[in-house]
Amino acid sequence: MPIASNVDFILVMDKFIFHWNKTDPGLKLSEGDVAVTFANFEALRDDLDESKTTLQGKLNDWEGARVHLDQLRQSIGDRIAEFNRRIRAEFPNKPDFNRLPDVPNRNAGRDAFLNALDDMINLWGRVNGLPPTPVFTAPLLLREGLSRDQALALRADLDAAFTARGNAEKALGSQRLARDTFQDRARTLMVRYRAKIEALYALDSAEVATLPKVTPAQGSTPDAVELTAGWSPTEQGAELSWTASENPDLASYQIRYVPGPDYLSADEAPLATIPPGAPLIFQTPAGFPDPGSARSYKVYVRLTTGHEAGSEAKTVFRPA
């Protein structure tokens, strides 16, 4: 199978390593003024493999930071709304308390949330400074005994969670760049290897005939299948099913996933390969560590010609 997407690089490089070792392990490629040996290419393959593994870790880190932040935003948003209800109930005729903090949308950014919390904490301090009355005695406590000091701690936690998500996103971007650099170099070297073999050996030789392909030959892209995905309470994971491909050149179905709710094809990783004729259903292994965790999936139709087409992405969330 040639390189149809990022998931194919290691497999294709392995084919080139086999061919190179069998044909002439001493053959060298030119990379500027530097000679690239068989051992150099093997090392590049291992570097790329490690980079891809690291990328999956960064994706998981980002997803963990996203889930933690979303949980905090939901909880803190609920607390701000609760605070406003309490102020209205306790002080219905107090003009000084008419200006209540805004309740942010649960997907709002750092400033909207921190500004709302600052307004709440400021007003909470004024409330706690009131003298006792027959109906209210400070300090004000919300449900489960939440105090103003605990609200201050929540503000610090939320600020740190926004920072952690931003740092995870930056680390993910840097790792994507590292992976792409390895892949670009690998692709260039494989193209040069093919050109050198075709220059050194007769076009009808076994060496040329068995050359691995870098990209698929000309041909048509298959029709995509329709994917259905949902949470399986029994398996505590995602359950996928899809329609059958009627393409006569079908080689397999490949299930790929990306941690999180946004499917970026450049980040996808293979999860399973299903042969033609097998049941068109798959239950994913564990991968949802916390409530609110998400994974996004596609099912690809893979042809014997090397061409492929992915389904529409579907996201599955672990319920709260």
Task: Write out pLDDT tens, residues 260-271.
Answer: 999 999 999 999
Structure tokens of 39? 């051992």
* pLDDT above 80 (res 286): no
In this model, does residue 95 exceed pLDDT 90? Answer: no
Is there a contact between 214 and 190 (Cβ–Cβ < 8 Å)? yes
Residues contacting residue 87 through CB under 8 Å, at least 6 positions apart: 97, 100, 123, 127
- The yes-or-no verdict on residue 287 having pLDDT over 90 is no
pLDDT band of 219, cuts 50, 70, 90: confident
| Alpha carbons 301 and 281: distance in angstroms, whole number | 14
Maximum Cα–Cα distance for the chain, whole Å?
101
- Report whether pLDDT(75) > 80: yes
Nearest to 5 by CA among 275, 269, 257: 269
Band of the pLDDT at 29, cuts 50, 70, 90? very high
pLDDT at 288 (0 to 100): 87
Q: Is the pLDDT of residue 169 over 80?
A: yes
| pTM to 2 decimal places | 0.91
Q: What is the helix, strand, coil percentage profile of the chain, to 5?
A: 50, 15, 35
- Please determine, for residue 285, whether its predicted confidence score (pLDDT) is greater than 80: no
Say what percent of the chain tops pLDDT 70: 100
Nearest to 126 by CA among 157, 94, 78, 154: 94
Give tens-digit pLDDT for 297-313.
999 999 999 999 999 99
Give 7's DSSP letter: G
- Reported residue count of the chain is 320
Q: What are the start-end ranges of the E strands in 110-233?
A: 227-232
Q: What is the pLDDT of residue 170?
A: 98
pLDDT (0 to 100) of residue 217: 86
Q: Compute CA distances 319 → 64, 238, 285, whole Å.
A: 15, 11, 16
Rounded to an integer, the average pLDDT of 6-26 is 98
